[in-house]
Amino acid sequence: MIDSFRNIFAIPDLRKRILFTFALLAVYRVGCVIPTPGVDPQALIEVMNAARQTMLGFLNTFTGGSIERAAIFAIGIMPYITASIILQLLTVVVPYLEKLSKEGELGRRKITQYTRYGTLVVAVIQSTSLAFVVENFTTPGGLPLVPNPGWGFRLTTILTLTTGCAFVMWLGEQISERGIGNGISLIIFAGIVIGLPNAIATTYGKMQGGTLHPLVVAVLVIFMVIVTGFIVFMERAQRRIPVQYAKRVVGRKVYGGQNTYLPLRVNTGGVIPVIFASSVVMVFPTLAGLFQWEPVQRLSEVISWGQPLYYLIYSTAIIFFCYFYVSIIFNPVDTAENMRKYGGFIPGIRSGRRTAEYIDRVLTRLTLIGSVYLAAVSVLPELMLFGFKMGGLPFFGDTLERYTPSWILNGLGIEFYFGGTSLLIIVGVAMDFVQQVESQLVMRNYDGFLKKGRMRGRRG
């Protein structure tokens, strides 16, 4: 392991990329502590302490704690994710965007530009919502969050937060282009990880104070270790479809004739479907803050943290985005056509359309397993930690709530950072980052982190 870290800094290009990535993440963290003008910081801390285990706490975690400081990066990268979802959905239904997506690098740049414009529009909407919400908030003691409300504060907040979102989007793109890993995922990863030490300290303080039983903490730690191991196992799981290549004679040389395989990951989409689904469930509190209508407020309460409808929408969104994202990044028809061009075929399957149908059938089954796995890992730990409000169920909800133990209704009361979504993103992004560093080391003939796993695949 020590030799692997030495190898990283022995390669000038890799060293520059990693240092560049960490430098931009440090810039992001600085922006998460610079406050937006016009908000009383002490009053905001009181409000956030009271709302830590609500949807507001969920948003605060994904923005690296910037909401509780009313920082200039308070809306973080979520507008960019929302705009990406909208553009990818439109790519399926709008012929012009579908044509752009098939034009290679030029089309991809055009779609990226449209995504940036969409990000600014979504950022304006979310920052406007946040400005009105903050302006109307008061502390449990009755103090207003904004001492001088009005359009001066609203316009300043909208301009500040929108500019901050655009800058965070630029940081993510720079990390993806000139650093290591996916910049957007790493920014979310940094925002979650930064809160882990404080969450651990808070949990330890509760245990020392007697408000949290040590046995509960031990069960939680064991559960986290099991879930982490399960995530690592599922992220590496793949279905290998055998592929044979026929021999071809070109001049005096013979090509092909070898046996290989087509690897299909169980979780092809990685953590992207979870991030997309998280962005979807954040739409409802955003609308509630923007529109003070009673139906919208009621809808926000029904879909709030811990409610049955929230878990249903969240799980359904994860499964939907798993299939949607896989359909975008993997085309069985193109894969089958490329295999046919180079003389490859799957034993027992005809080349061309039958091969594409077979790959699509296998991929659909794998995606079902992967989507259920993502939904389970995201929802089940949060059910255990934050409870399941039986009263939100129709017809028999109130009756069931009277006979249900309180720990099922309210959870175990641990800090939000230990939730399944956060854990999934942390493990998934960390594995992707290590894998990319590993590929850079192997490409330059250096030993990486996964020596044993790679040695099995070597010849001779």
Q: What is the DSSP string of 116-145?
A: HHHHHHHHHHHHHHHHHHHHH-B-TTS-BS
Q: Would you say residue 413 has pLDDT above 60?
A: no
Number of domains into which the chain is organized: 1
Residue at 17 is within a domain: yes
Q: Would you say residue 460 has pLDDT above 50?
A: no
pLDDT, position 228: 85
Q: How far apart are the first and last CA of the chain?
A: 25
CA dihedral 186, 188, 189, 195 (to 10 degrees): 140
pLDDT class for 82, splitting at 50, 70, 90? Answer: confident
Dump pLDDT digits (tens) for 126-173: 888 888 877 877 776 777 778 888 888 889 989 999 999 999 999 999
More confidently predicted of 341 and 6: 341
Provide the domain limits for residue 187. 1-194
Residues 437 and 18: beta-carbon distance below 8 Å: yes
Residue at 77 is within a domain: yes
pLDDT, position 137: 73
Residue at 100 is within a domain: yes
Integer Cα distance of 204 and 209 in angstroms: 9
pLDDT, position 363: 93
Q: Under 8 Å CB-to-CB from 114, ≥6 apart: which residues?
A: 87, 97
Residues 122 and 77: beta-carbon distance below 8 Å: no
CA 105 and chain centroid, separation: 25
Dump pLDDT digits (tens) for 211-252: 777 887 788 788 788 888 888 898 889 999 998 887 666 666
Residue at 93 is within a domain: yes
* Domain at 56, CATH number: 1.10.3370.10
Dump pLDDT digits (tens) for 316-369: 999 999 998 888 888 898 888 888 887 788 888 888 889 999 999 999 999 999
Residue at 321 is within a domain: no
- Match 């389970």 to its residue by tokens: 376
Token pair in block for residue 367: 């995606």
Residue at 245 is within a domain: no
pLDDT, position 391: 67
pLDDT, position 250: 64
Average pLDDT over residues 184-208: 81
More confidently predicted of 410 and 32: 32
Residue at 59 is within a domain: yes
Residue at 27 is within a domain: yes
More confidently predicted of 176 and 63: 176
pLDDT, position 394: 67
- Match 């922006």 to its residue by tokens: 31
pLDDT, position 458: 35
Average pLDDT over residues 91-118: 85
